Structure 1
Amino acid sequence: EKMAYSIADGVSASGAEVQVINYDVHDVGYILTKLFESRSVAIGFPSFKTGIPLTLSKLFYYIKLTGLNKKSLLLFTCYSNTKSPIDAFLKIALNNDFELFEKPLEVQYAPNEEELKLCFELGNRLGEKTKNNKGQ
């Protein structure tokens, strides 16, 4: 959650509009509506025993059905296992024709101040790209 808000702060600092949405709190319909309105998306996910949380698998299923792909996608994770879940998530994201925005940010355990600063900077670059690609 700290990483998500640091990324959002970076996007906001660039002058781009940003909204943080918790996929465990909001229904898929709400998230798809917000995704439709967006040019760029940042998705973070915690470590999960089988790779990808069911909620995110379901969300990406609906994204594929509705064609709400072809957007810039920033991935980030904070994991506690010995293996990052990024690889499993990359397969799903790239199969949905998202344009990966930079290398995914992976943090093991809780992010420190330096890692939160990296989140802010990454968000700022995503915000700049979003502002400069208004037609997409």
Structure 2
Amino acid sequence: MTKTALVTGGTRGIGRAISLSLKDAGYTVVANYAGNDEAAKAFTDETGIATYKWSVADADACAAGIAKVEAEVGPIDILINNAGITRDGFMHKMETEHWNAVIDTNLSSLFYMTKPVLEGMRARGFGRVVNISSINGQAG
């Protein structure tokens, strides 16, 4: 049985490369995206990789999105937490909503996405969760 991988932010940039690499390695790949429906459709048309839209910054949306993927594609064996956003700016000029959006998308989403898949992974005796981080965290 082919293992299923879910890649958040899986249609562009690093996420796209990960999605394509996993597909080339023989996995069934599903790519999550948050915004651009046209780009997601083009990605699916080009690659054959199914796309599902929801915000990884929303716990309820993550649970519902994962449930939909598992109902339509099968259990998630590999989760790649790749989605991330940047709202650069000086802290004294940063709006609270920008701060919250970055924290929820880049950090809280790891919990929101991982928690719903863990029990299935444990029950099946297999699962992988990979968290991708930005080099921005290392910039001086």
Q: TM-score category by the smaller chain?
A: 0.3 to 0.5
Task: Provide the TM-score with structure 2 as the length reference.
Answer: 0.41
Which of the pair has the greater relative contact order for Cα pairs under 8 Å at 6+ separation? 1
- Return the index of the structure with the highest Cα Rg: 2
Q: TM-score, normalised to structure 1's length? A: 0.42
